[in-house]
Chain A
């Protein structure tokens, strides 16, 4: 019951943040020079005088900011985010088309990052300040200083140009075979993982070291349990909450933050859609995508909170 109240308030908070974000987007796009009407007229063949005003009236752009925001919000509630002035496609369709690619990239990235970072952190904590820990610290520190677009470039040179094992560009949908699909995602996935692994490994290592000093670990050790059991069954679980928080924050940012990596690899994801929308000044599309990305961020953090409560009984009290 208490949990439900907590989740309820979090949910209201979540909606409030989303409302804030959408208003901020609206305000930002309003303050910046230019609007959709000008863009449409500029891209037409024979702009007639007064055309801008006419289109503004038609699109309702002559209304005050708050009225337009209200109209847009009314649409959002009904699942209508407007449509792109360029393609005429609805924003929901455009995003829906691209979202699976971005989500697949996201899931693969998180799985690989955690699969590498967790054992790395656990063994580094186990051999604290010894050779393995030192090497892993140096490795993660170095990796942390490489921006992901640099990793993408290096991977393209090595894996695509020289070894020719994966394609440098493009995306093969899942329907054309799992192998080809995974190969087309290899470079962006690895590039993103390389920036997440050091982060996750450092956070978890420090947390593990703290946990390993707890009395119940000493107790488990005194009982003669094998080190592996102590590490993975006893110490890992109470160390996870902090890592999960960091993962949650990064899941949110990855949905939109993979822009550069998506662009380099030519993936038809949300990031590339957003980039072209910004460049085409497709205001309605930009608004819609930012709302979706922000929603992903907020929802991921909400789920983290829920998870946290399940994982850590102390929070429940």
Chain B
């Protein structure tokens, strides 16, 4: 995982200069549609996998070792160094990547929102304690924590999802905290309180509906980060255990064949790249749409 940390997309100030050409807008629309199509395609492929006429992703075809794409009618995208069908493995990998990506962001959003909203809403000592916890967690090297967790707990889908979720939660908490801060003292909150509403009711009815948009928008940014994290872990051999395959695992194990059979590494790399591109595009689109500014940090 590249643990590059980026503040949520900074919108440039409203354009007084000249209107963006309509053509650029249309191109953007097409790209967003394409991104959605790709992700839907991936989801459809792995849900329908049992019924697709594809070889078993875990079975080796010893008559076809390291076949390049297009060379064999049985294996559309060829086979890897021990004769497993690459297309079938790519589809299983898509399931792992997207499940981990979305699952871990869900975990991060739940933990992060809980911490951040409490800190922002209650203020005072609660805020100081939670902010301290967030600072400590942010200073904790994320990938290191993840690797340690998977080595000691034994690799598994659940460990990875929870691990990435926990590691990503302080960033969500920061966003949630500052989003809550901007609403905690607004008139409608005071009004609700003066009408006798308790903290819980205010949190649920007044605060939550307002902060959920920036939090989820930030969450969309994190999905791509989580997919990269899973890829890095798998690449190091710490991903989901076999017979499940993951794009990272495919690249990690195929690395030794790089000079002779590059397709074994390049195909999963390509799949991952297109997926990340799609996820980043959608995240940026969502950010623009809901006008997520740096100020929420």
A residues apposed to B, CB below 8 Å:
13, 16-18, 20-21, 24-25, 28-29, 32-34, 128-129, 134, 141-142, 144-150, 153-154, 156-157, 161, 195-196, 199, 202-203, 206-207, 209-210, 213, 242, 246, 249-250, 252-257, 259-260, 263-264, 274-275, 278-279, 281, 286, 289-290, 293-294, 297-298
Contact = CB atoms under 8 A, between A and B. Distances in A.
A20 B139 CA distance: 9
B79 interface: no
A29 B24 CA distance: 52
Contact of B272 (A33, A150, A254, A290): A150
Contacts, number: 156
Contacts of A210: 12-13
Contacts of A157: 258-259, 262
A128 B224 contact: no
A108 B15 CA distance: 37
Contacts of B54: none
B277 A153 contact: no
Given A203-B10, A210-B12, A256 B132 contact: no
A146 B251 contact: no
B285 interface: no
A264 B132 CA distance: 35
Interface in B269-290: 269, 272-273, 276-277, 280-281
Interface in B73-117: none
19 contacts: A13-B135, A17-B135, A20-B139, A25-B140, A28-B145, A144-B280, A146-B273, A147-B2, A147-B231, A150-B272, A153-B258, A157-B259, A246-B6, A255-B141, A256-B144, A257-B2, A257-B142, A259-B144, A278-B151
Contacts of A129: 17-18, 20, 24
A20 B135 contact: yes
Nearest to A33: B152
B4 A17 contact: no
Given A32-B152, A157-B259, A290 B147 contact: no
Interface in B25-79: none
B236 interface: yes
B96 to A, nearest CB: 15
Contacts of A252: 139
A20 B4 contact: no
B136 interface: yes
Contacts of B152: 32-34, 278, 281
Nearest to B278: A145
Contact of A246 (B7, B265, B276): B7
Contacts of A294: 139-141
Contacts of B151: 278-279, 281
Contact of B144 (A29, A134, A156, A274): A274
B171 to A, nearest CB: 11
B238 to A, nearest CB: 10
Nearest to A13: B135
Given A145-B280, A147-B232, A257 B7 contact: no
A98 B20 CA distance: 51
Contact of B6 (A134, A199, A209): A199
Contact of B1 (A13, A24, A246, A260): A260
B296 interface: no
| Interface of chain A, main secondary structure | helix
A16 B129 CA distance: 12
Contact of A195 (B4, B255, B294): B4
B121 interface: no
Contact of A24 (B17, B140, B224, B262): B140
Contacts of A18: 139
Nearest to A23: B136
A279 to B, nearest CB: 6
Contacts of B262: 157
Interface in B240-281: 251, 255, 258-259, 262, 265, 269, 272-273, 276-277, 280-281
Contacts of A259: 143-144, 147, 236
B286 to A, nearest CB: 15
B136 A20 contact: yes
Contacts of A278: 147-148, 151-152
Interface centre among B232, B272, B280 (most CB of A within 10 A): B232
A17 B139 CA distance: 8
A80 B6 CA distance: 35
B153 interface: yes
B235 A260 contact: yes
A161 B273 CA distance: 22
B2 A195 contact: yes
A206 B272 CA distance: 28
A210 B255 CA distance: 44
B148 to A, nearest CB: 5
